[in-house]
Amino acid sequence: MIQTRRFGGPALVVAIVVLLGGCALEVVTPPAVTVTDMPHEGRRVAPSPPSDPVPTTVWPLTGLSAEGAVPTDIERPAVGIKIENTAHGRPQKGLEHADIVFEQYINGGYPRLIAFYQSDLPDDVGPIRSARNMDPNIVGSFDTVLVSSGCNFEVQKAFIRMEQILLATYFTVSEGYLQSSEGFEKMTRDVVDKAQEFRLWGHPVTFAAEAIEKGMGPTPRQFDYAYPGSTATAAVEGSEVGTIDLRYSPSGHPHWTWNETTEVWDRFEFDDPHLTMDGNQISAVNVIVLRVKVAYTQGYNPESFVIVTDAPGYVATGGKIIPIRWTKADRGDKYHLYTLDGEPVSLAPGQTWVELVPLSGVWDKAVIKFDGVVQ
């Protein structure tokens, strides 16, 4: 049987050359192969990595992006200013520019504000009013100056003892930390149609410069912020609400309404929009309600205790609200906010109002309502 041996590829070429009479080997070059690129439109583009929602630089008291801002502005100390919030003091000047605002209960059940300015310093703020016994503890974590129209001797001693700086219109203590300031201006009746005690204006730019001169450094961040803001704790875990009603006393009845168009809480005083002298309605991205015990430390001067180991409260963000617990260990400690499960609470970047609503110790019981339901 004859066996046939098959050759393939290069071996076959060599065999044919040998059989042709032992001629010299001939190198055979295979044909060139041409590769054509796939058209660009037919290729799949690798997806871009998701953008980091956390800004590179932020304003400390709002958490908003500070990209493009002057570094010295970002690092300047905040200025806390005591502002009247009764019917006699409203409308205020410059209140809409504040980063964080605290509302407190004072004697007679009247509401008064402490507004902190850091990212936006308006030309004028007013009416400026006196400091109270509770103020050193309220503002201690900001590590900066408090501006007021004055205070009683007990408050002066408290600021000196706690090594805090009070910028006031008059100067009665020659040592320590109570200081006078040139940043005030008494407005005339034809410019500000209010009684004399409600016509004291202040200039935050001057106050900030004085704070720097007195050694104040950058103001520390006060709250945790979520990026993007839609992932803030209340916005994710809270219950939907449209209105927040807070009754401090017959003289103080702030009201917040969620604005779906602008995505902020619009503020009202009683039934009227809370407008500034420039016609702007006060609003906030976050509304924090902290329940506080009130005691009359000098017989007539109520003091809201904000140094607590555990107290109830609420945080409203993104049209939703969540119950919380909060702590503040001492004067210099921040306000720590936790869910009922003990997890830290984050806010959405933006302006924040903190309502120090009396839990006990006042003549008229304070009331909190969400969508008309008493809490």
Examine residue 312 and say whether the peptide bond preceding it is cis (omega within 30 degrees of 0).
no
Average confidence (pLDDT) over 275-300: 92
Q: What percent of the chain has pLDDT over 90?
A: 69
| Residues 182, 164 contacting (CB under 8 angstroms) | no
The pLDDT of residue 44 is above 90: no
Check residue 372 and give its pLDDT: 95
Mean pLDDT of the chain: 86
The pLDDT of residue 19 is above 60: no
Nearest to 149 by CA among 206, 61, 84, 211: 84
17-21, 180-184, 269-273: range with highest mean pLDDT: 269-273
Task: Supply 227's token pair.
Answer: 């990026």
d(CA 257, CA 54): 28
The pLDDT of residue 262 is above 90: yes
The SS3 call for residue 153 is helix
User: Minimum mean pLDDT among 63-67, 166-170, 272-276: which range?
Assistant: 166-170
The pLDDT of residue 53 is above 60: yes
CATH topology assigned to domain 71-374: YerB-like fold (3.50.90)
The pLDDT of residue 32 is above 80: no
Give the predicted TM-score (pTM) of the model.
0.85
Helix (H) or strand (E) holding 138: helix 135-139
The pLDDT of residue 266 is above 90: yes
The pLDDT of residue 6 is above 60: no
Domain ranges in the chain?
Answer: 71-374
Contacts 24+ apart (CB under 8 A), 257-264: 258/319, 259/283, 260/319, 263/318, 263/319, 264/350
Average confidence (pLDDT) over 81-110: 95
Check residue 169 and give its pLDDT: 84
**CA angle (149 as vertex; 143, 151 as ends), nearest 5:** 75
Give the residue, 313 or 108, on which the prediction is more confident.
Answer: 313
